[in-house]
Structure 1
Amino acid sequence: MGRKHLEEITLLRGLAIIGVVAIHSHPPPLSLGFLGLNKLYIEELSKFSVPLFIFISGLVLTFRYTGETIVYTDFLKRRFEKILIPYLAWSGIYLLYRYLYKSETFSLFAIAKKFLIGSAYFHLYYVFLILQFYLLFPLFLRLIQRFKNRKTALLSIAAALNLIFIAFYESTLLIPERLPRRIFIFWIFYFILGAVIGGDLKNNKRSAADKISYKLLIPLFAASLIYLLAPAGLPLGSKLDVFWLMKKTFFYAALFILLSYKLASESNFPTHNIALKPITSLGKYSLGIYLAHLIILEPLSTIILNRNLLFILTLSIAWFFTKTVSNLPYGHLLVGKINNSDT
């Protein structure tokens, strides 16, 4: 019998939401002076965030449903209730925000399209993306079970497939970046990696992360950092500077995920650990923070020029807002149900 709870997942969610808000608080610089490089490095180093969220989804879903009979309609209902209703609510809020705050107007067709593909505001693409993984999850679970004795081969295939699509995107100017970031195939390795580890945990086996020693993982992670940051001096406006689905980001994010998961799971971090309590609390409310943070960040950015202070205030206010709303009757319809470690 495997573990019943995954306390480390709340901690990882906290790291992921910190990364998301850090990216949006430190936009790409207009010049590469000292401050410009600082912003660029913060943005680059935070690009583990969305891959980590996808990894967590794969891990948690597979941990939850391995060995269980999935009733597809019940599964979708449970997943959609968790994320779809808050997504629809915030899509409406952001469209109203764009109308009132930015004086933007849209036709009924454009509004319907924005609700459908997650473009009411730019960060909402993630919901459209993760819903694809939900829809296909029974197929992914069957794939994991079929490759249960060939997990290295499965991970290698997923990584190769991911890199092929990333390389194709990098090599062409014909695909706008808003398209691939919404398609699950460009993120598939992170989900498969999480699913493989989640299945092992459910079956009480050593996970892929457990099998990699720190002596190997730390040098590889250090190398990925060099690879990630060395091209930071590319001309501004380069395609490589405006989109994070890149080979350098892939290696960095994958190794960051393995290292952070290994540290969190092997160190027996309890969610009530005093030193980690702020991060785990952010993880607990991460969905609401993700949905709400930009409507807080953008108005604040007009009066707060210090980007580090902007980051701290945005994260704090979004956390307080989400926590407060979650305690109200029907508050989960706006900020989602509070994250548990194993659901």
Structure 2
Amino acid sequence: MVWFFEVEYLRGLAALAVIAVHVSMNYTRIPGVNLLALVNVVVYVVAHFAVPVFIFISGWVLGARHSGEYSLRDFYRHRARTILLPYLFFTALYLVIVVEGTFGFAGVPAPGRVAEALLLGTAAYHLWFFVLIIQLYLFFPLIARGYDRFDRDGAALYLLLALLFVQVLWNVGAHCLGAFAGTEWYTVLIRVFPSHLFYFVLGIHVARHTDNFRSQLRSLSAAWVIVSAGAGALFLGGMWAAAVLRYGSLSGATLAVFCVYRILEPLYYVPVIAVLVLAAWRLEDGEGRPAGASRSFGEHSYGIYLVHPLVIAASAVAWTSLTGLSWADWPTYPAIFLAAAAASYGAVRGASGMPYAGYLLGEPRVRRGPGRSGGT
């Protein structure tokens, strides 16, 4: 089975970004707009590369494992085991436990609430990702076959550019339809697979041309790659900070701000992917404890993604009880971030040794191979 050492590092870094997003989003609980709120707006926006990176990784891994002839029955059976059981279990859990704004028992949900949660991933703020990834898994055989046809004709890059255009158009359209026809349209459309299809197919492209991808990335100046990603982070983060300062909140910004953001975000996310791969190479070369800890965090990233809202909510309650500080205080954000990262990892790693835990928290994914040539 083909495996690439970069994958676990990328997963771990993306998982940290997810936690950063869900800690920093609590800036909305700060009365008014101050410097603390603006800093967390920037963190919130900049760390949103996490889901595109996870989608890219999924395309990379699936593209590497499934090329040529393979059993569709085995493919779908494995995908159902790794994605549906955790999704159903944690949807049920988050329907009865409140993790946003407070922490406690929500009561027995109504049937309509259950149906909405299952279809749209609204039981908790992070489960929408599962609705998206399930669609990409369902359509992967067709997507990969379509990519391979373009690739054989030497037109893979044209396909990627076309998908980038379609994705941007789709996401801008989702905002426009949400603004004029009702927010429920945006809620649905942003969860439909064309909203992230470019990143998924980019992952498949890298899987089909991994050696070429690595050699081309090595040929680039690392400094310029980092500067490109940093410039994107500063521009998008600054744009949203200015919008919040002007309109009082993200949701209060004009439709034009949302549309400009959707047009520009891929130009930030693609360099970030390159930076994360460079970081993976640096960690791998360094070996030692940082590399081992990063790989282990990435190995358990699936479970960390699932449980971290519980840990954030519980940590916030404990922090306020012990210190008297709230989301309106500077120390709260780094303290909750560190607690959420450490406790989520500890809980998932501790539970991984329990019987059947792998079905709910994700199976260990590390399959170390011979360095940068990949592995089996």
Instruction: Say whether the fold is shared (TM-score over 0.5).
Output: yes
1:151 aligns with 2:162: no
**Superposition map of 1:207-286 within 5 A:** 210=217, 213-214=220-221, 217-231=225-239, 232-234=241-243, 235-239=247-251, 246-265=262-281, 267=282, 269=284, 273-286=288-301
Letter of the 2:148 counterpart: Q
Structure 1 pair 34–259 and aligned structure 2 pair: CA distance change class (3 A) = same
Which has more helix, going by share of residues? Answer: 2
Counterpart residue number, 2:202: 193
1:54 aligns with 2:52: no
Is this contact kept in 1: 2:20–2:337, CA < 8 A? yes
Is this contact kept in 1: 2:45–2:236, CA < 8 A? yes
How many corresponding residue pairs? 337
Counterpart residue number, 1:113: 116
Shift of 1:26: 1.2
Structure 1 pair 18–169 and aligned structure 2 pair: CA distance change class (3 A) = same
Letter of the 2:209 counterpart: D
> Once structures 1 and 2 are overlaid, which stretch shifts more, 55-64 or 25-34?
25-34
Structure 1 pair 331–238 and aligned structure 2 pair: CA distance change class (3 A) = closer
1:310 aligns with 2:318: no
Shift of 1:233: 1.4
TM-score of the two chains, using structure 2 as the length reference: 0.81
Counterpart residue number, 1:22: 20
Letter of the 1:326 counterpart: S
Q: Distance in 2 between matches of 1:288 and 1:195?
A: 24
1:80 aligns with 2:88: no
Is this contact kept in 2: 1:209–1:261, CA < 8 A? no
Q: Distance in 2 between matches of 1:330 and 1:196?
A: 34
Shift of 1:83: 1.8
Q: Helix, strand or coil: the match of 2:318?
A: coil
1:180 aligns with 2:189: yes
Letter of the 1:210 counterpart: L
Give 5+ residue unaligned stretches, structure 1: none
Is this contact kept in 2: 1:8–1:271, CA < 8 A? no
Identity across aligned pairs (percent)?
A: 25
Shift of 1:84: 1.3
1:101 aligns with 2:104: yes
Shift of 1:270: 6.3
Shift of 1:118: 1.9
Q: Distance in 2 between matches of 1:74 and 1:271?
A: 38
Counterpart residue number, 1:33: 34
Q: Distance in 2 between matches of 1:57 and 1:84?
A: 16
> Once structures 1 and 2 are overlaid, which stretch shifts more, 278-287 or 248-257?
248-257
Structure 1 pair 218–24 and aligned structure 2 pair: CA distance change class (3 A) = closer
Alignment counterpart, residue 162 of structure 1, candidates 161, 167, 174? 167
> Once structures 1 and 2 are overlaid, which stretch shifts more, 91-100 or 56-65?
91-100
Structure 1 pair 61–166 and aligned structure 2 pair: CA distance change class (3 A) = same
Structure 1 pair 312–113 and aligned structure 2 pair: CA distance change class (3 A) = same
Q: Distance in 2 between matches of 1:208 and 1:112?
A: 47
Aligned CA RMSD, in angstroms, stands at: 2.8
Counterpart residue number, 1:6: 4
TM-score of the two chains, using structure 1 as the length reference: 0.88
